[in-house]
């Protein structure tokens, strides 16, 4: 019988359910026990006797892939992001990597809009104050008429742009892969340079894949160019943002706030300075938690596994 390593936390949360599903497919599940994901060392300790891998954000390096041979036949990544896998090595070694592209466009876009509304209208600040017995009435800004600058304009980025347009925002985007205007509700989302995203946006939202080339794409230089009235939303990957530089910009009031679903180090430490800002709204890398999207990815991930293992 073929062995399948399960290391993604979404299936681990429902172990009994997916233990049965995997066995019904004719495979033997091997259950990992990651905190959030398997480190390279933990991967090396887990591979070698597996035929398939239902992976999460595990650090699947070239060394891990080589150690998994000759048995490993497929990596079925739960979700969309595959930046933690050495894809060049996987291709060279003949190990297919399959994921679920665009599965979370609606779910993540809705959370991105939540961040925009919560930060711009100071809703989380008001909630915290009420819980302390206060009755504040701070002034916020409507999204209508504001400019949204998207970094990354694939399926998720375009859905965010579409929803933002419905709220009356003007949308510009930076994405080396996309070309030309995209039309939503009779309005064009226009391509822009990264500098223009920094200088011309009221809200800057990250929805791009993480690669070594765009590590810290939002860093000190970028943050120096933005307006002090602008704020940042990140629903992509933590290392896209230089977190230390962002904290400094917040302290110096060079940025109006942030909505962050992801961080450079996860989970966020209990003493992280981001926790001390009232104008920062935080989430636990959970923007994909829409029920319909999650169920689709469960099914598609198992189908991806079966399509190779047979």
The tokens for 283 are: 């989430």
66 is catalytic: no
121 is catalytic: no
Which listed residue (114, 159, 237, 298) is catalytic? 237
> 3-class secondary structure for the chain?
CEEEEECCHHHHCCHHHHHHHHHHCCEEEEECCCCCCCCHHHHHHHCCCCCEEEECCCCECHHHHHHHCCCCCEEEECCCCCCCECHHHHHHHCCCEECCCCCCHHHHHHHHHHHHHHHHCCHHHHHHHHHCCCCCCCCCCCCCCCEEEEECCCHHHHHHHHHHHHCCCEEEEECCCCCCCEEECCEEEEECCHHHHHHHCCEEEECCCCCHHHCCCECHHHHHHCCCCCEEEECCCHHHECHHHHHHHHHCCCCCEEEECCCCCCCCCCCCHHHHCCCEEECCCCCCCCHHHHHHHHHHHHHHHHHHHC
What angle in degrees, to the nearest 10, is found between the helix axes of 291-309 and 105-120?
Answer: 150
Gap between the Cα atoms of 165 and 304, Å rounded: 35
Gap between the Cα atoms of 86 and 71, Å rounded: 18
Gap between the Cα atoms of 172 and 155, Å rounded: 15
Residue 110, φ and ψ in degrees, nearest 5:
-65, -40
244 is catalytic: no
Which listed residue (266, 291, 298, 299) is catalytic? 266
Which listed residue (114, 159, 285, 298) is catalytic? 285
> Known catalytic residues?
237, 266, 285
């Amino acid at each position: 019988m073929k062995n399948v390593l399960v290391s993604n936390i979404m299936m681990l949360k429902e172990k009994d359910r997916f233990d049965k599903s995997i066995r019904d497919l004719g495979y033997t599940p091997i259950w990992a026990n990651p905190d959030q994901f398997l480190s390279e060392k933990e991967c090396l300790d887990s591979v070698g006797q597996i035929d398939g891998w239902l992976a999460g954000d595990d650090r699947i390096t070239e060394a891990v892939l080589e150690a998994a041979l000759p048995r490993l036949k497929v990596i079925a990544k739960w979700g969309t992001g595959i930046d933690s896998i050495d894809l060049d090595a996987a291709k060279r070694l003949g190990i297919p990597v399959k994921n679920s592209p665009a599965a979370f466009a609606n779910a993540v876009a809705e959370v991105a809009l939540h961040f925009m509304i919560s930060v711009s209208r100071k809703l989380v600040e008001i909630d915290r104050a009420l819980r302390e017995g206060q009755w504040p009435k701070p002034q916020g800004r409507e999204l209508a008429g504001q400019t949204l600058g998207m970094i990354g304009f694939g399926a998720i980025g375009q859905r965010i742009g579409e929803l933002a347009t419905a709220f009356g925002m003007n949308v510009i985007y930076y994405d080396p892969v996309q070309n030309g205007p995209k039309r939503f509700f009779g309005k064009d989302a226009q391509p822009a340079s990264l500098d223009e995203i920094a200088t011309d946006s009221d809200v800057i939202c990250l929805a791009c894949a993480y690669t070594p080339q765009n590590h810290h794409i939002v860093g000190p230089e970028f943050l120096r160019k933005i307006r002090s009235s602008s704020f940042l939303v990140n629903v992509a990957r933590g290392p896209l943002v230089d977190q230390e530089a962002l904290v400094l910009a917040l302290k110096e009031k060079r940025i109006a706030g942030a909505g962050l679903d992801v961080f450079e180090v996860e989970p966020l430490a209990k003493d992280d300075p981001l926790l001390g800002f009232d104008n920062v709204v935080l989430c636990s890398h959970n923007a994909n938690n829409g029920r319909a999207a999650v169920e689709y990815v469960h099914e598609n991930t198992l189908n991806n596994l079966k399509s190779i293992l047979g």
